Amino acid sequence: MGLKIDIFPCLSDNYGFLVTDEATGITAAIDTPEASRIIARVEERGLPGLDFILNTHWHPDHGGGNAEVQARFGCPIYGAEEVRKRWPLDHVLKDGDVFMLGETRLDVVGLGGHTLGVIGYFDRAGGNAFVSDVIFPLGCGRMFEGTPEQYWGSLLRLAELPDDTVLYSAHEYTLANLRFAESLGVDEVLQARGDKVRAKRERGEFTVPSTVAEEKATNPFLRYPLMEKDFAAQAARFGELRAAKDVFRG
């Protein structure tokens, strides 16, 4: 028994996630990027309903469907404090909290930087991490509200997870991220991953999820900062890369 994870496309490039504790059948949606799609997915799977919504941060493509999904299923909404300012939220979760989805333990981990109060949900026993926009295959989210130091600290928390941890990111941005990574230099490892990514997208396949090992080996926002000697230098390098990606048009 463990966590069953259903990933499906929403909006133009988001992913939705329904996660089910296999021991009890209790199911949660990680964020609500597109209410109609989430409702349809629950019905397509023949689930009796939706038990929880778990929000990661306040952006509309993560919390904007809260009201409609809750109205349909009557499920309570848990999430980061910052969500409350924009969208319905019944219970606040913060770094260090534990959320029990049936028999599955989800550790709540602060991952600020993309927004100030992003949280992730780590299923450590199953080796899964739901990281929203904090990290993507070969990339990371924009630094809308945080600082390089804060964001880099969050990325370090991910880099320190076991290498086989599976990272569930919330967008399909991988081809664009690949082009930026390649602009910084291509070695055999990045070449091999790039070939796989392009082949998957040509077949219409998802490139999410990825693993911690893959990201440490090829994601420039982990790979290059981790080459620096200390936290301050790593954060500075991360900030330089993020600023470069913000204006990259390759």
Pick the catalytic residue: 62, 91, 95, 107? 62
Strand partners, 210: 167
**Of 13, 171, 195, 230, catalytic:** 171
The single residue of 21, 57, 97, 187 carrying the catalytic annotation is 57
Residues 6+ apart with CB under 8 A from 223: 216, 217
* The token pair that represents 193 in the structure block: 């991953």
Tell me, yes or no, if 59 is annotated catalytic: yes
* Identified catalytic residue from 21, 51, 59, 123: 59
Q: Measuring CA to CA, which residue among 99, 84, 131, 127 is closest to residue 112?
A: 131
Active-site annotation holds for 91: no
Extract the tokens encoding 35.
């209410």
95 is a catalytic site residue: no
Q: In DSSP terms, which residues pair with 53 in a beta bridge?
A: 29, 77
d(CA 38, CA 52): 12
Angle between helices 188-202 and 174-183 (to 10 degrees): 150
Point out the catalytic residue in the list 114, 163, 187, 246.
114
Q: How many CB atoms lie within 10 A of CB 48?
A: 9
Catalytic residue of the set 21, 31, 51, 61? 61
User: Could you tell me if residue 110 is left (phi over 0), alpha (psi between -120 and 50 degrees) or otherwise beta?
Assistant: beta
Which helix (H) or strand (E) segment holds residue 37: the answer is: helix 35-44
- What does residue 142 show for φ and ψ, rounded to 5 degrees? -65, 150
Catalytic residue, chosen from 97, 133, 187, 230, is 133
| Strand partners for 17 | 7, 30
**Which positions are annotated as active-site residues?**
57, 59, 61-62, 114, 133, 171
